[in-house]
Amino acid sequence: MSWIHIMILLPFIYAILVPFLYKLYSHKLHTGWFVMPIPVIIFIYLLQYITPISSGEKIYTTLAWMPSLGINFTTNVDGLSLIFGLLITGIGALVILYSIYYMAKKREALHNFYIYLLLFMGAMLGLVFSDNIFVLYVFWEITSISSFLLIAYWYQRPKSRYGAQKSMLITIFGGLAMLAGFIMLSMMTGTNSVQEIISQMNDVTSGPLFVPAMLLTLLGAFTKSAQFPFSIWLPDAMEAPTPISAYLHSATMVKAGIYLVARFTPVFGGAVEWFWIVSVVGMITMIWGSFYAVKQTDLKALLAYSTISQLGLIMSLLGLGSASMAFGFTEESAMYTVATGAAMFHLINHATFKGSLFMVVGIIDYETGTRDIRRLGGLMTIMPISFTLSIIGGFAMAGLPPFNGFLSKEMFFTSVLRASELPIFSMETFGIMFPVIAWVASVFTFVYCMILIFRTFAGKHQPERLEKKAHEAPVGMLIPPIVLSSLVVIIFFFPNIIGQSLLKPSLAAILPGFTQDGAFEFITKIEAWHGFNTELFMTIGIVIFGTLLYLSHKKWSSVFYTLPEWFSLNSVYNAALEKSETVARGITNNYMTGFIRDYLVYIFAFFSIALLTCVWVLKGVSLDISNNAPISIYEVILVIGIVISALGVLFSKSRLTAIISVGALGYIIALLFVIFRAPDLALTQLIVETVTVALFLLCFYHLPEFKKEHSRVRFRITNLIISLGVGITVTLLALSAQGNKLFEPISSYFENSYELAGARNMVNAILVDFRGFDTLLEILVLSVAGLGVYTLIKLRKQGSGTNETE
Amino acid sequence: MFEKVLMIVLIALTISIIAAIYRVVKGPSMPDRVIALDMIGINLVAAVAVISVLLKTYAFLEVILLIGILSFVGTIAFARFIERGVVIERNRDN
């Protein structure tokens, strides 16, 4: 139990205390103040790691959990997990500070809110620091569950519940797929630790499970990170309170998939499938998200789609960066690692500006009572600080200087331009696609950023359309976005601090093959000015085209409505859900008819078909009648009698005849027992048969008057076939078993029952002495049956059925 | 010789049982069927006795007694059923 484990588990432990704190102090002090120190402590603790990590150390600690299964809570702190840990705790602290002012103390169930939030934070920390794939999966699912709880925080609203259900279905579907991929990985390599899998992966890249494991793991990453086509849950998750949207759906949870892809790049990277799937899905997500973000009229939905688009950008960069592994780890392949560097850099940048933008949108919502762009406008003079913050965030998102988005956007363009010249993966033909898509998506990004800023803050103020009188937010609410925005600016001016301390070790974790110094030197030389090159002209083109598109937005925005409403991923999802329900219900109603005769048909058909197939396939029939006793005339007569009475049951017109035929059958069997020298059996059989017939007659007598059927059994061809099948099956099995005696029976042992048990009657000696346990429990069966009959008769509900005593 | 006699007896008993079964199946009225069943029971007693002699064993004497009792009880029950509509009458006081 080292400090790092304590720090990961601290949120979980503290979550237990939250309800007590809420109960004791909620009327005096906002519960958030009690929760606030936790992420701060963890953040400060994680800051200490920067120095050793940036000098190339890896800190690896183990806590035994299930050692016999090879599942231990091992933590691995390297550059990659440290970036995520700092993001989670830093933004977590800011979000909690923001939520203290955002969530009302009186109205909201704050203890629930902070418990879910702490659960989520702990799960996220565990996810990024776990080295064991199964522990990682455990934390992964806890993030899904806590996210589900947080989205449905206002569970009274149907839309919240819908969004929560949708996100849960999609992310848990991906999580389970990921678990399957992890199991395959652990089967291939024989270890559960990510680091050991990486070191052993070179042996199994050609194995049959390599591609399935890759696809399943990617399915998990894509669903969590809202990549196309699984991105549909993210816009609906905006029903959550705004601090949650800022925290989960911009900075942390949606980055879990990014983390997974980055973490497993050393495992799968270099494979052509990985390169294409990750980069192309990322590109599609990027352009799809940016295109749809322009359409939105709700600020949070706009930010949701922009998050999808930015995540697609990061994902595609990770895919492009993996190309460097295909080259081996040489000087020239290092130039392609710029994509991975850009991915990590943009990940940090995106967390800063997107978090701040969400908070600003929350402030607008809080102060004006609406998030609808069509109602807002002219808030520039009323909310100057928020306006400044959104300018910073929006321009950073659009990729303009002097904000950090500009730097990562430039690196992004560098990466796609270099990737388009890749000499492998048939990039000669398709390579040009990447810069084009990237550029078009960036244009749309620019447009929606401008919409976000200027539709909200510029233009005409319409106080009559707002629910409240707008004014600037309280200072406590403004502190977190101010901190994040100042980070946006600071990172632009001093990018190399981050580059040296965080990005470089994270690249060493993602691409561990590059051992020589100087492979990642570019990351510490990030500059805003490279001279006039293609990337700069691309940016200028984006600004020009984006401005033109924004100004003519009214003219072309009808393009969004050319596609009909049903032609969207959401309607596909809804239809699929509905369809699967109706189909499942239909199937169930088809075969679960409620008629016992149908179920008996299934049972008997399955029984005979399965057994006959087995017998057929395994050549199980071998009829050997050499050991059989000779057949005497009495047996023939009795068997003929049995057949006659059985047919009498089948073809009887009335039930009474059937009952009597059954009785005759039983008596003939008693006679068979007589002939086969089993007196005890004959005695018992006679008594039981008599009692049974009497009971049948009782039932017959009490049949209701109406609908009494005095007709023969209705003929059904399926029943005939199945009954014949079952009869044939049983006959075949009995004859085969009879003909294949493998060893002598043990009955010779019971023959000295007199010496062993002092009984001349062997059957009785077996029943009560050699094998008395069976008899004991048979007695129990009879007593249970008797008690059951008694209760059935005595404990009848009043008024149901006719009472026999009347 | 003795066995042959027993066999002939058995066959005769079987024929009479089959005749009784015909009456059980055909029997136009309920009492016909009940009496046929009683007759089957008695014939079974005889058949079991003959078989015991054939098998040279005492083991089936209880079976003979039991069949006698059962066929008697069964016939009585059927008779009550036909007469009164119930086999076991309830005490009307409680």
Give pLDDT tens digits for A339-358.
888 888 899 889 989 999 99
| Residue A263 pLDDT exceeds 80 | yes
Question: Which position has the higher pLDDT, A457 or A602?
Answer: A602
Residue whose pair of structure tokens reads 């919409």 in the numeric block: A451
For residue B77, the chain A residues in CB contact (below 8 A) are 694
Residue A707 CB burial class (10 angstroms; 0-12, 13-18, ≥19): exposed
Q: Please give the residue of chain B at the shortest CA–CA distance from A665.
A: B21
Q: How far is B60 from chain A (nearest CA, A)?
A: 6
* Mean pLDDT computed over every residue of chain A: 84
A763 to chain B, any CB pair closer than 8 A? The answer is no
Chain A nearest-CA residue for B20: A664
A contacts of B60 (beta carbons < 8 Å): 674, 679, 682
With an 8 Å Cβ cutoff, is B26 touching chain A? no
User: Residue A507: what pLDDT?
Assistant: 82
Question: Residue A177: pLDDT above 90?
Answer: yes
Q: Do residue A679 and residue B73 have CB atoms under 8 angstroms apart? A: no
Amino acid, res. B81: F
pLDDT band at A174 (very low <50, low <70, confident <90, very high): very high
In chain A, where the domains are located: 3-523+534-561, 596-704
pLDDT at A802: 53
Give the span between the Cα atoms of A287 and A227, in whole angstroms. 11
Q: What Å distances lie between residue A621 and A236, A624, A723, A741, CA to CA?
A: 62, 9, 20, 13
pLDDT of residue A688: 92
Average pLDDT of the residues in A466-483: 79
The residues of chain B scoring below 70 in pLDDT are 91-94
Angle made by CA atoms A217, A219, A224, in degrees to the nearest 5: 100
Nearest by CB: B24 against A633, A637, A660: A660
pLDDT at A12: 92
Q: Are the C-beta atoms of A3 and A45 separated by less than 8 Å? A: yes
Give the pLDDT confidence score for residue A23 in this predicted structure.
Answer: 84
Pairwise CB contact (< 8 Å): B87 & A686 = no
Q: B27: nearest CA in chain A?
A: A657
Output b/e per residue, A35-50; b: 16+ Cβ within 10 A: bbebbbebbebbeebb
Q: Which two tokens stand for residue A556?
A: 């072309």
| Percent of chain A's residues with pLDDT above 90 | 20
Does the pTM surpass 0.85? The reply is no
CB contact under 8 A, A683 and B87: no
Instruction: Give the pLDDT band (50/70/90) at residue A712.
Output: low
Q: Considering only CB atoms, which chain A residues are within 8 Å of B39?
A: none
Whole-number pLDDT of residue B78: 81
How far apart are the CA of A679 and the nearest CA of chain B, in angstroms?
Answer: 6
Altogether, the residues listed in chain B come to a count of: 94
Q: Is any Cβ of chain B less than 8 angstroms from the Cβ of A679? A: yes
pLDDT band at A586 (very low <50, low <70, confident <90, very high): very high
Q: Residue A247 and residue A250: Cα distance in Å, rounded?
A: 6
So what's the pLDDT on residue A515? 63
* Residue A497 touches partner B, C-beta closer than 8 Å: no
Cα(A339)–Cα(A503) distance, integer angstroms: 12
Q: How far apart are CA A116 and CA A149, in angstroms?
A: 7
Query: For A291-321, how does the pLDDT look when each residue is reduced to its tens digit (9 = 90+)?
Result: 888 888 888 889 999 999 999 999 998 888 8
- Chain A to chain B Cβ contacts (< 8 Å): 54
Q: What percentage of chain A has pLDDT greater than the value 70?
A: 92
Mean of the pLDDT values across residues A445-468?
81
Confidence of residue A806 (pLDDT cuts 50, 70, 90): very low
Q: Which residues of chain A neighbour B74 with C-beta distances below 8 Å? A: 690, 693-694
Q: Please indicate whether, in this complex, the C-beta atoms of A683 and B59 are within 8 angstroms of each other.
A: no
Residue A270 pLDDT > 80, yes or no?
Answer: no
- Cβ of B70 within 8 Å of Cβ of A677? The answer is no
Cα A124 → chain centroid:
16
Determine contact: B63 vs chain A, CB below 8 A. Answer: yes
Averaged pLDDT for residues A766-773: 90
Residues of B with Cβ-Cβ distance to A687 under 8 angstroms: 66, 70
DSSP label at residue A381: T
Residue A745 — pLDDT band, cuts 50, 70, 90? Answer: confident
Residues of B in contact with A690 (CB under 8 A): 70, 73-74
- Contact across the interface for A677 and B73, Cβ inside 8 Å: no
Q: Residue A552 phi/psi, 5° resolution?
A: -100, 20
Can you give the pLDDT at residue A530?
A: 63
Position A503 scores a pLDDT of 82
Are A341 and A522 a contacting pair, CB within 8 Å? yes
pLDDT confidence of residue A433 = 81
Residues of chain A with Cβ-Cβ distance to B37 below 8 Å are 660
Residue A290 has pLDDT above 60, yes or no: yes
pLDDT at A44: 92
DSSP A468-525: S---PPPHHHHHHHHHHHHHHHHHHH-HHHHIIIIIHHHHHHHSTT--STTTTGGGGG
- CA atoms A637, A639, A644, A648: torsion sign: positive
CB A373 within 8 A of CB A298: yes
Q: What is the pLDDT of residue A519?
A: 61
**Cα-based angle A718, A724, A725 (whole degrees, multiple of 5):** 90
Residues of A in contact with B33 (CB under 8 A): 660
Instruction: Calculate the CA A765 to chain-centre distance.
Output: 60
Mutation for A interface: B3, B15, B21, most A CBs within 10 A: B21
Tell me whether residues B57 and A677 touch, CB distance under 8 A: yes
Q: Where are the domains of chain B?
A: 2-83
The whole-angstrom separation of Cα A196 and Cα A204 is 13
| Residues A648, B90: C-beta atoms closer than 8 Å | no
pLDDT at A705: 62
Residue range A663-689, pLDDT digits in tens: 889 988 988 998 888 889 988 998 899
> Helix, strand, coil proportions of chain A in percent (round to 5)?
75, 0, 25
Check whether A203 has a pLDDT greater than 80.
no
pLDDT in tens, A505-523: 888 888 877 766 566 666 6
Alpha-carbon dihedral A695, A701, A707, A712, rounded to 10 degrees? 60
How distant is the Cα of A781 from the closest Cα of chain B, in angstroms? 25
Residue A147 bridge partners (DSSP): none
- The answer to whether the CB atoms of B37 and A805 lie below 8 A apart is no
- Residue A686: which of B40, B55, B63 has the nearest Cβ? B63
**Which residue of chain B comes nearest to A683, CA vs CA?**
B63
Tokens of A42: 């963890």
CA-CA distances (angstroms) from residue A384 to A182, A467, A783? Answer: 50, 20, 86
Chain A interface includes B77 (CB < 8 A): yes
Where would I find the H helices in A322-458? 323-326, 338-368, 384-398, 404-419, 427-430, 433-450, 456-457
* Residues of A with Cβ-Cβ distance to B63 under 8 angstroms: 670, 674, 679, 682-683, 686
Using a CB–CB cutoff of 8 Å, tell me whether A677 touches chain B: yes
Q: Does B21 touch chain A (CB under 8 A)?
A: yes
Angle at A100 between CA A95 and CA A105, to 5 degrees: 145
- Closest CA of chain A from B63, distance in Å: 6
Cβ-in-10-Å burial (0-12, 13-18, 19+) of A199 comes to: middle
Alpha-carbon span A798 to A160, nearest angstrom: 47
- Give the gap in angstroms from C-alpha A806 to the nearest C-alpha of chain B: 10
Query: What is the model's pLDDT at position A428?
Result: 63
Contact state of B51 with A677 under an 8 Å Cβ cutoff: no
How many CA atoms lie less than 13 Å away from A183 in the CB half-sphere? 6
Indicate the pLDDT class of residue A563, thresholds 50, 70 and 90: low
Tens digit of pLDDT for each residue in A19-54? Answer: 888 888 877 888 888 888 899 999 999 888 888 888
List, in sequence order, every residue forming a beta bridge with A59; answer none if it has no partner. A77
Q: What's the pLDDT tens digit per position in A358-401? A: 999 888 888 888 888 888 877 778 888 888 888 899 999 888 87
The residue length of chain A stands at: 806
* Separation between Cα atoms, residue A483 and residue A246, nearest integer Å: 14
The interface residues of chain A toward chain B in range 608-637, judged by CB-CB distance below 8 A, are 633-634, 637
> Shortest Cα distance from A640 to chain B (angstroms)?
11
